[in-house]
Structure 1
């Protein structure tokens, strides 16, 4: 792994990147200067062995996260059929008895979180229509599609071991630049003739590819997931319409373009699609359905939603006024309820920092798997109090908000934000990001390792400048990469 500071600069690269979807490249800083998010010129180069090490780490980490999800679910009284019956009319979850309650998830969301986690497990979810007392409609097997996710990894090249910093499981962005922009950059600069010129099969894994040389075709994540969904819900059309929702108050355009890219890949895979705003999602009280409402006052034009991808944090959704209604029939085949991608468990079990101490608890002593982790604990624990160098992170936080780095008892980076006001924090043993020399000073890269349908699919690199760059924030740059350039 090496940083090349003086790479080629393409003529018209800004317009090229814009035309490919990077419409959010330029940001005005507080002093009035403009910052380019994409860095044209510098890039990172890797050996194939280094890429294979990152792929292995991504695969192993994904397996550990699935085991951690199982553990978290088992800490909720509602994870058994008896627990669901007992809790139907009364609260059974508290921070003392339930892990989900401990990390701040409202109880009304627990059953659907557990349900979408276990979808497809007939032993867990197949029951008669009602319980023996005739009270509670029981669950039936279903399928909750999950398309993508991104691990943020510490890595310093050959001789080092990738370490998990966090898992962006539900709403990862930087997808456009990782899947599309850097791919075209590699093609246009032609810096390497290596058979793997870049670790980047993101687009192909989403859309699929045709068979070649007698090998079976890969249908891609969209076709594979929708096919499984139709097995569970045979009443759906062969090509159900997929809605893609984003929050319009995000003014840079980043959310819109990341959702638009995913929508384009679903359309390329053969599905009808529609891009909508979060504000256009409504609830039909009489029909118990999630609706697409084009505009206020146009409820008569509302359309039922069978399948929707939402780039909006579940932890916002389930804490907002009116959010509770959307959990009433979520992923319920008996009611033909709406299926949401990514499902609630992606945020509740995997996409928050509480995952880190759970992983360490389960695998910290495992020499083969624990090597990809850093010691992590809940901030109020006695183990956390013994650390003198650590990163303190809010359980529910994004883009480095409210992350503090402590080294030998002294704060070296503080990034205050609105996150963490609930007082829920974890601490993770400090491992400072690697340092490379850039034109403007020392830079610190973090590896974003992408998963598509649970499989390693590629990499994007973000880097920050100076000491403040030890926390990867929304103002950090994106750099492309190659494999075997100039070997």
Structure 2
């Protein structure tokens, strides 16, 4: 793993990147200075063995996360039929009895978090039509599609082992630049002739590809997931329409373009699609349905939403007015409720920092699997108090907000934000990002390892500059990579 600072600079690279979807490259920092998100001329060069190490870490960690999700679900009283009976009219979940309640997830969401986690598993509580005593209707087997996620790793090349920093399981961005922009950069610059060239099959993993004569192809994540959904919900048409929603208050255009890219891959896979704003998701009180509500001047009328992908945090959604209606709709025993992608469990079980101490609790004593982890604890625990060098992170936080790094008892850097106002934090043993020298100064890269439909599919690299760059925030740059350029 080497950083090359004097790589080729393409003529008109800004316009090229813009035409490919990187419409949010140029920005103004709080101090008034301008900066370019994409760093033309710099890139990271990996060996094939290093890429294999990252792929192995990604696969192993995802399997560990699934086991951690099972453990979290088992700590909620509602995961059993008896727990659901007791909680039908009463509260049965609190910080003492329920892990989900402990980390601040509203009790009314727990059943659907658990249901979507177990969907498709014939041995789970979703398998029967009703409880043994016949009192409560039960879900028949259903399916909750999930197409993507991203691990953030500390990694310093050969001789080091990737370490999990966090799992962006529900709303990861930087997808456009990882899947498309860096691939075209590599193709246009020709900086490597290695057969692999770049660890990047993100686009093909989403859309699928045709096999060579006599060899099987791959239907891709969208077709696999929608086919499984149609097996559970046979009333859906062969090509159901998928809505893609983003939050318009995000002004840079990053959210819009990441959602638009995912929408384009679903369309390439053969599905009708429509891009909408979060504010256009409405509720039909009489029909108990989730609706797309067109804006002023749009010709078509409001229509029910069967499937929707939203780039919007569930931890915001379930605290908002109307959240209970949407979760009640999800529980429709006839399975006519709206299917949400990514499903609620992605945020509740995998996409928050509480995952880190759970992974350490389950695998900290396992030599093979703990090698990918850093010791992590809830901030209020006695084990956390014993750490002198650590990263303190809010359970519910994004883009480095409210993260503090402490080295030998002394704060190194901190990022102010509104996250963590609920007082829920975890601490993770400090593992400072690697340092590389660049023309701008010392930079610190973090590896973003992409999962498509649960399988490793590629990498994107973000880097910050100087001490502040030890925490990766929304102002950190994106740097492309190749395999064995020979530079």
Deviation at 1:331, TM superposition (A): 5.9
Q: TM-score, with normalisation over the residues of structure 1?
A: 0.98
Kindly indicate whether the alpha-carbon contact (under 8 Å) linking 1:119 and 1:125 is maintained by their aligned counterparts in 2.
no
| Structure 2: distance between partners of 1:219 and 1:181 | 23
* Residue matched to 2:50: 50
* Residue matched to 2:256: 256
Change (3 A) 1:95 1:447: same
2:485 is the alignment partner of 1:477:
no
Deviation at 1:214, TM superposition (A): 1.5
| Structure 1: distance between partners of 2:127 and 2:350 | 28
Deviation at 1:295, TM superposition (A): 2.5
- Local SS of the residue matching 1:328: helix
Moved more, 290-299 or 191-200: 290-299
| Structure 1: distance between partners of 2:195 and 2:214 | 20
| Structure 1: distance between partners of 2:359 and 2:54 | 19
| Structure 1: distance between partners of 2:299 and 2:78 | 36
| Structure 1: distance between partners of 2:291 and 2:126 | 28
* Residue matched to 1:404: 404
Change (3 A) 1:422 1:126: closer
- Local SS of the residue matching 2:482: strand
The within-5 A match list for 1:237-386 is: 237-295=237-295, 301-330=301-330, 332=332, 334-386=334-386
Deviation at 1:130, TM superposition (A): 4.0
* Residue matched to 1:217: 217
2:142 is the alignment partner of 1:142:
yes
Moved more, 386-395 or 208-217: 208-217
* Residue matched to 1:199: 199
Deviation at 1:170, TM superposition (A): 0.1
Kindly indicate whether the alpha-carbon contact (under 8 Å) linking 1:142 and 1:333 is maintained by their aligned counterparts in 2.
no
Kindly indicate whether the alpha-carbon contact (under 8 Å) linking 2:24 and 2:252 is maintained by their aligned counterparts in 1.
yes
| Structure 1: distance between partners of 2:166 and 2:449 | 11
Deviation at 1:162, TM superposition (A): 0.2
Kindly indicate whether the alpha-carbon contact (under 8 Å) linking 1:142 and 1:331 is maintained by their aligned counterparts in 2.
no
Number of aligned residue pairs: give it. Answer: 487
| Structure 1: distance between partners of 2:82 and 2:339 | 25
Gaps spanning 5+ residues in structure 1: where? none
| Structure 2: distance between partners of 1:335 and 1:126 | 12
Kindly indicate whether the alpha-carbon contact (under 8 Å) linking 1:293 and 1:299 is maintained by their aligned counterparts in 2.
no
Moved more, 101-110 or 30-39: 30-39
- Local SS of the residue matching 1:166: strand
Moved more, 383-392 or 127-136: 127-136
Change (3 A) 1:381 1:12: same
* Residue matched to 1:448: 448
Please list the CA deviations of residues 196-231 of structure 1 after superposition, one character each: whole Å capped at 9, or x if unmatched.
100000000000000114221100000000000000
Please list the CA deviations of residues 139-174 of structure 1 after superposition, one character each: whole Å capped at 9, or x if unmatched.
211000000000000000000000000000000000
Change (3 A) 1:331 1:142: farther
- Local SS of the residue matching 2:393: strand
Q: TM-score, with normalisation over the residues of structure 2?
A: 0.98
- Local SS of the residue matching 2:330: coil
Deviation at 1:133, TM superposition (A): 5.4
Deviation at 1:334, TM superposition (A): 1.1
* Residue matched to 1:83: 83
Q: Which runs of 4+ in 1 moved over 6 A?
A: 296-300
Gaps spanning 5+ residues in structure 2: where? none
Deviation at 1:12, TM superposition (A): 0.1
* Residue matched to 1:9: 9
CA RMSD of aligned residues (A): 1.4
Deviation at 1:285, TM superposition (A): 1.3
| Structure 1: distance between partners of 2:119 and 2:480 | 37
Deviation at 1:28, TM superposition (A): 1.0
- Local SS of the residue matching 1:301: coil
* Residue matched to 2:486: 486
Deviation at 1:31, TM superposition (A): 3.4
- Local SS of the residue matching 1:282: strand
Kindly indicate whether the alpha-carbon contact (under 8 Å) linking 2:239 and 2:272 is maintained by their aligned counterparts in 1.
yes
